[in-house]
Homo-oligomer: A and B are copies of this chain.
Amino acid sequence: MQIVINVEGVQLRSKLFRGFGDPNRLSILYSLLGGPLTVTEIVSATGMSQSNTSNHLRCLRECGLVAAEQQGKYVYYSLSDDRVGDLLALGESLLSDAACGVYQCTRYYASEE
């Protein structure tokens, strides 16, 4: 099997995964697994600042991972597709496997010394 994807295609795909690749965005996605939440609810669920939450929500929204719907003075956010949850679950599965070395990876967010 040989799969060839052009440069543009790879960038597109990496953008999708990068949506999941930040702790704060991932916190937001996890918080939405239970159903739609307002921004204020996401703020209190994640402990992030309002501004930071809004910035990351924009990223997630632009990348199509979450959907926003205004209701009165609230904006409800939700996962845009079941497969977003599926991807999270598959990540869980990979991580829970002892063979996966992510625990030892010190490349990101880890004190190197």
Please give the residue numbers on chain A whose beta carbons come within 8 Å of chain B beta carbons, in ascending order.
1-3, 5, 7, 10-23, 25-27, 30, 33-35, 59, 61-65, 80-81, 83-84, 86-88, 90-95, 97, 99-109
Beyond A3-B30, A21-B21, A107-B63, whether A12 also contacts B95 by CB under 8 A is: yes
Beyond A86-B90, A94-B16, whether A11 also contacts B33 by CB under 8 A is: no
A57 to B104, alpha carbons, bound, how many Å? 15
Are B83 and A11 in touch, CB under 8 angstroms?
no
A88 to B5, alpha carbons, bound, how many Å? 12
Distance in Å: Cβ of A3 to nearest Cβ of chain B: 5
Are A14 and B33 in touch, CB under 8 angstroms?
no
